[in-house]
Amino acid sequence: MADTQPKEKPVQKEKAPAKEEKEDDKKGKKEKKRAVGKKLPAVPESVLKSRKRRDLAKAARLNVALKKRAEYNKKRKEIFKRAEKYVKEYHSLERDEIRLARQARNRGNYYIPGEARLAFVMRIRGINQVAPKVRKVLQLFRLKQINNGVFIKLNKATINMLRICEPYVTWGYPNLKSVRELVYKRGFAKFRGQRIPITSNAIIEKKLSKCNIICIEDLIHEIFTVGDKFKYASNFLWPFKLNTPTGGWRKKTNHYVEGGDFGNREDKINELLRRMV
């Protein structure tokens, strides 16, 4: 008997994925065409050159800033080293004075310290009835106003000048503390004929770098020790403008040893400066 059962139809393969792939290819080609059609416009050569110049200038500025920073750090370390050296020197001088005084006392003698080399001179009287010679000396000392003060190196010439103008000035031998307080609190620089405050070490270095003075501690050391460059250090400072002493003057027309104010006070000038700074 013949097989009457119906034959199974062969399963047809799905063609959907193939169609989807073709559609994706078409879409990709269309997008590529659109992208080609929408290219960015070419940048002008002048713009590219200006960008390059700007980048080069920025790199140069950065390089200069880094160099300045390195120099500043190096200079700062040098300043700290000098300050430490000066502190050791001051302590050594103080210990030597104490040691010599103790040795003299143990032997039943008196210790007489060396003659002072530094003086601080201050004007205490005005210009009324001032002799021409006295006025000239005060002008040479740069003491043009009352309560003006300057540091002076003591030698034969300056001592003779002080004798001429003695009734108009008071002076003495300042210690390290007085010198430091005057420079830090009342110090002004003479720069291009102008009176400017000492706000940074750069001002000192710009004016006194040839004298190997690059910071305020160098300036104080040069003045206090009366070094080789004392003249330049002293002239760099504008004459100090001080206040009238608290409690006022005693009697300006009398000498200090007579209960007055003018003349040499020696170490007592430090006490007066505390009342005037």
Domain containing 250 — which CATH number? 3.30.1390.20
CA–CA distance, 109 with 102 (Å, rounded to integer):
10
Query: Is 27 contained in some domain?
Result: no
pLDDT value of residue 28: 62
| Structure-token pair, residue 63 | 């390089």
Backbone φ and ψ for 267, nearest 5 degrees, come out as -75, -15
* Confidence check: pLDDT of 81 > 80: yes
Helix (H) or strand (E) holding 34: helix 16-37
Domain assignment present for residue 259? The answer is: yes
Phi, psi angles (nearest 5°) of residue 231: -60, -45
Final residue before a domain boundary, out of 87, 111, 135: 111
pLDDT tens for residues 5-34? 555 555 554 555 555 566 666 666 666 656
Domain co-membership, 213 together with 243: yes
For residue 119, what are the CA distances in angstroms to 32, 35, 115, 176? 92, 88, 11, 12
Distances (CA, A) of 214 to 40, 90, 105, 232: 59, 19, 42, 13
Q: Are residues 82 and 185 in the same domain?
A: no
First to last CA, the chain: 140
CA proximity to 235, closest of 254, 250, 222: 222
What's the domain range around 216? 118-276
> Tens of pLDDT along 151-179?
999 999 999 999 999 999 999 999 999 99
Q: Work out the percent of the chain whose per-residue pLDDT is above 70.
A: 85
Q: What share of the chain is helix, strand, coil (3-state, %, to 5)?
A: 55, 10, 30
| Distance of alpha carbon 135 from alpha carbon 113, whole angstroms | 34
For residues 97 and 213, membership in a common domain is answered with no
Tell me the mean pLDDT in the region 210-225. 94
- This prediction's pTM: 0.75
CA distance 80 to 82: 5
Model confidence over 221-230: pLDDT tens digits? 999 999 999 9
Asked if residue 67 and residue 157 are part of one domain, the reply reads: no
Q: Reply yes or no on whether the pLDDT at 194 is more than 70.
A: yes
Rounded Cα distance between 124 and 253, Å, is 10
Which range among 48-52, 132-136, 198-202, 243-247 shows the weakest confidence by mean pLDDT? 48-52
Q: Is residue 46 part of a domain?
A: no
Q: Does 245 fall in a domain?
A: yes
Q: Give the number of domains in the chain.
A: 2
Q: What pLDDT is stored for residue 1 in this prediction?
A: 45
Instruction: Show which of 111, 134, 150 is a domain's final residue.
Output: 111
Reduce the DSSP state of residue 170 to 3 states and report it: strand
